[in-house]
Amino acid sequence: MSTKHRYDAIVVGAGHNGMVCAYYLARARRRVLVVDAADAVGGAARPVGFGDLTVPFAAHLDYGFSRRVADDMELARHGLAWASNDIAGTAFGENGARLEWSLARDDTPSPLPARDAGRWPAFRQRMARFASVIEDIAGRVPPCLRGDGADARAWLAIAWRLRRLGAEDMREFLRIGAINIFDVLEETFDDRLLKGALATEAVLGHGLAPRSPNSVLTFLMRMASGGAAALPRGGMTALGEALRSACAARGVEFRLGTAVKRIVIENDRAAGVELDDGEIVSSSDVVSSADARTTGLDLIGAAHLDTGLVRRLCNVRGNGCTARVDLLLDDVGGLERDLLVRRLLYAGDMDTLERAFNDSKYGNVSSEPLVELVFPTVIDPAQKTGRHHLATALVQYVPRTADDAGERALDAARGVIGRMLPGLFERVVDTRTVTPADVENATGIHGGHWHHAEIALDQFFMLRPVPSLARYAMPVAGTWLCGAAMHPGGGISGLPGRNAAAQVIASGGRP
Amino acid sequence: MNDALSLRQVLETPFHARTSALCRTNHWGNWAGYTTVQVYEDVQIEYFAARNAASLFDLSPMTKYDIEGPGAEAFLNRLLTRDVRKLRAGRVAYVAWCDDDGMLMDDGTLFRFDADRFRLCSQERHLPWLLDSAIGFDVDIADVTESVAGLSLQGPTSCEVLRQAGCRDIGALRPFALDRFEIDGVTLVISRTGFTGDLGYELWLPPGDALATWDALMDAGPLHGITPMGSLALDMTRIEAGFLQANVDFLAGGRPTRTGRLRSPLELGLAWLVDFDKGHFNGRRALLAERDNRASRYRLVGLDVDGNKPATDAFLYDRRGREAGVVTSAMWSPTCKKSIAIASLNAGVDVDLDGVWADIYVSRELRWRRIKAPCREVPRPFFNPARRRATPAGHR
Ligand SMILES: Cc1cc2nc3c(=O)[nH]c(=O)nc-3n(C[C@H](O)[C@H](O)[C@H](O)COP(=O)(O)OP(=O)(O)OC[C@H]3O[C@@H](n4cnc5c(N)ncnc54)[C@H](O)[C@@H]3O)c2cc1C
């Protein structure tokens, strides 16, 4: 490492991936600075004020933060604890139908018709076996197709994982990979609500409906990260605080409230960053947690990239479709108490989801959207820092370009939630909405997508986000990507940040 | 529009009324969607007009893009392998551009009118690539192929023809310079450029003035031997000049569907066009790796082939009979009095040390004979007269 620069690495963005990456770099004795435009750490889960409460900007639940990363970073020592490590789900259908389930547990969802109940264990176990292959892939840096020994060994390891599935499973894996979750569930189960609930797990956060290709992959990704929905004590913002604390203990420096205007490039090599006030901070590597397109076109600049890559970056699919609606409640009395500690899904059935998606295809907010609703202040009383209670909902599908997206999402959510918990809206004293456009404005992530780039086979693993960038390196030496646009994608997992750090470290700093 | 016209697949150039009247062979070809004369009367006569007098060639189908705006220079500097900052206003440069893999997309000429206005001319169409390349640059790109007619007047008396036609100061125009002139009341741009490797000029004008300008040149030229020239004779002169022809000596980018068919500029003898020191440009990293790892797969050379039979499409072998490369363009050069060829050699082959020979098949009234013609590597251009570079120009 050179002494010419003030830092060995500057990480752009103090989202969880940026911080995880910074931690591993610092652990490898790099001098690291993390810069974020926002005043607080956490990225899309950073704290914002809402009434007398503090809420995470967008992400409200932990769907599977990597245990390995949490252990490496000793997050427990840095204050991370769980209010619940698996909030069980209740799905709502038409005419008051309800179903209880959790993907993370062996328990059979209930109530189910006998035939479905009989099929559940085998279905879940098979999906778990498939998911373990995906989990293995998710933890890896995508190997090169034309690589050397290490790459060849990685390919062999993946092939071996597949082979170990056995002939029958392997055939099934390849078969369902090419179809969609609608067909898979349709041929397995009868219960409409069960199929709706499972399909919701496949499409939440994705611009997909049950009949879309790739929805089996996203379902397996959900299972690969454990299938649980957990809530840190203190909420998702507490996870960000723990990450920050772990980083600080390793000597990582933070500079918040300052945007990086551009990555400084000298002789086709990163030399640091220019901040929005014009200050230049020098560094031999720059790792960006912004999406690949934003990093390429805005921070590095097209002049430093080749035309073909620029075109591919412009065509990365990543238009957000998930919005968030927060409700500040004066009271939760009179509501069905047992429901308030659960994860409530309005899925209807698979056709409801498909119709909701259809609206968004033509730029409209779904009139009967998918909704995931939780009451953080009930599940975790530590979060009730004032007089009010809080309900947070993810609402899908809300296209980025829709007019008045926030109001429409709120209206649509009101209708659906009103059916799930009659009387809830009478207790609402304030609302807060976050649309994909708001996410884009607040985080600088182009498209405001949950995963920064849609997860699909053509944007997965060694093709994510575009083939030539899958190994976390941008073409300008010393420039890297560590955000959710990178393999294995978004959701607060820490894995893109960890993989990216491994690549930066393997490159050995300045050549 | 009448049906026959709307169904027609090939366009006519603004000079069609004149070229079609003069085309006695009725031998036409399709050049970038325009019907163009291959031979007016006789290839040899047209070729010798270019070398000994003046040839007039309809250049209108040449693809032309106007590139303008505050970001035009930066855009072109990222697009092209040369340093565009060094090209002064009023100058023209031979340029090339590459894809991300450092493979040649095409070559062409770049005209700089002033600080922010350029024109890029090439054989193939490249608008999608140019528009993609414009992402992130403050630049406007317009395809002006149809709104700019072109004529190429080449040969030792070309300067004199223009002077007779009213361009009094044409002799002062330096090679690769451009300026405005007037012919018969028509204002036009003339550049001292061409594809023949000789003294010559290219004229750029509005299509509406095309016929009047053609007539003015033909009227001014008889005493100087002005002769309309078709594409076949032009091709002879360009081989002698050592210029590459897209889709003959290399495949233009975007065309091939098979991997590995494209060539890098380093593999095509165009290293002199590649400026590694100017900052980033498309393909730079790939080309740098190719250069530093000595990873070029081919080497383009000029060959002097024994005998008088053109080595057209011939395979090249070394003295041990191993394949050494292929000839991409070849001819008997009447001016050099030699059989010359442009060839792509496999990496590592040395023409002289390895005893490279061309495998030529010739038919004498259908009796085929195989000639193993020894080759020598010679510099390109094969034909390179001093008058090409002299200023003031002209044959007095
Ligand atoms: C509405 C919504 C709800 C979601 N809910 C959940 C959920 O409940 N659970 C879950 O696990 N996931 C959820 N996600 C997804 C999750 O938020 C993302 O996948 C995750 O935040 C990605 O983390 P990251 O660190 O890669 O990037 P981000 O969290 O997006 O962080 C990027 C950071 O980089 C900073 N930055 C960007 N450009 C610059 C610059 N030029 N200069 C300085 N700083 C810069 C930004 O300010 C930001 O802080 C949700 C997403 C959305 C949109």
Domain assignment present for A92 = no
Q: Is B57 helix (H, G, I), strand (E, B) or coil?
A: strand
Separation between Cα atoms, residue A468 and residue A462, nearest integer Å: 8
Structural domain including A419 reads 319-442
Q: Which residues contact residue B376 at a Cβ distance below 8 angstroms, ignoring those fewer than 6 apart?
A: B303, B304, B351, B352
Q: Are residues A363 and A410 in the same domain?
A: yes
One pLDDT digit (tens) per residue for chain A, 511 residues = 456 789 999 999 999 999 999 999 999 999 999 999 999 999 999 999 999 999 999 999 999 999 999 999 999 999 999 999 999 999 999 888 999 999 999 899 999 999 999 999 999 999 999 999 999 999 999 998 777 788 888 888 988 888 899 999 999 999 998 899 999 999 999 999 999 999 999 999 999 999 999 999 999 999 999 999 999 999 999 999 999 999 999 999 999 999 999 999 999 999 999 999 999 999 999 999 999 999 999 999 999 999 999 999 999 999 999 999 999 999 998 899 999 999 999 988 999 999 999 999 999 999 999 999 999 999 999 999 999 999 999 999 999 999 999 999 999 999 999 999 999 999 999 999 999 999 999 999 999 999 999 999 999 999 999 999 999 999 999 999 999 999 999 999 999 999 999 999 999 854 3
> Looking at the structure, do residues B187 and B303 belong to the same domain, yes or no?
no
B209 shares a domain with B336: no
Per the CB < 8 A criterion, the answer to whether A335 and A421 are in contact is yes
Residues A415 and A500 in one domain: no
Residues of A with CB under 8 A from a CB of B: 268, 297, 301-311, 314, 468, 475
- Decide if A90 is inside a domain: no
Sign of the torsion formed by the C-alpha atoms of B271, B276, B277 and B281: positive
Tell which of B173, B208, B229 closes a domain.
B229
The tens digit of pLDDT for each residue in B222-241 reads: 899 999 999 999 999 999 99
* CATH number of domain containing B119: 3.30.70.1400
Q: Are residues B220 and B342 in the same domain?
A: no
Pair B178, B111: CB distance under 8 Å: yes
Residues B102 and B124 in one domain: yes
Domain match, B379 and B329 both: yes
How far does Cα A488 stand from its chain's mean position? Answer: 10
* Nearest-Cα residue of chain B relative to residue A296: B136
| 8 Å CB contact of B99 and A307 | yes
Quote the domain boundaries for residue B188.
3-60+148-229
In this structure, the residues whose C-beta lies within 6 A of any atom of ligand 1 are A 12-18, 35-38, 43-45, 58-63, 259-260, 289-290, 320, 322-324, 394, 434, 439, 443-445, 448, 450-451, 483-484, 490-492
Q: Residue with structure tokens 């005209």?
A: B111
d(CA A124, CA A185): 12
* Residues in contact with A486: Cβ distance below 8 Å, sequence separation at least 6, in sequence order: A292, A464, A465, A469, A470, A472, A496, A499, A500
User: In B, what residues contact A, Cβ < 8 A?
Assistant: 74, 78-79, 99-100, 129, 132-133, 135-137, 279-280, 282-285
Specify whether A125 is located in the same domain as A218: yes
Classify residue B72: in a domain, yes or no. yes
A44 in any annotated domain: yes
- CA dist., res. A492 & res. A500, Å (int): 15
CATH number at residue A21: 3.50.50.60
Q: Which residues of B touch A266 (CB under 8 A)?
A: none
A337 lies in the same domain as A438: yes
Say if CB B299 and CB B203 are below 8 A apart. Answer: no
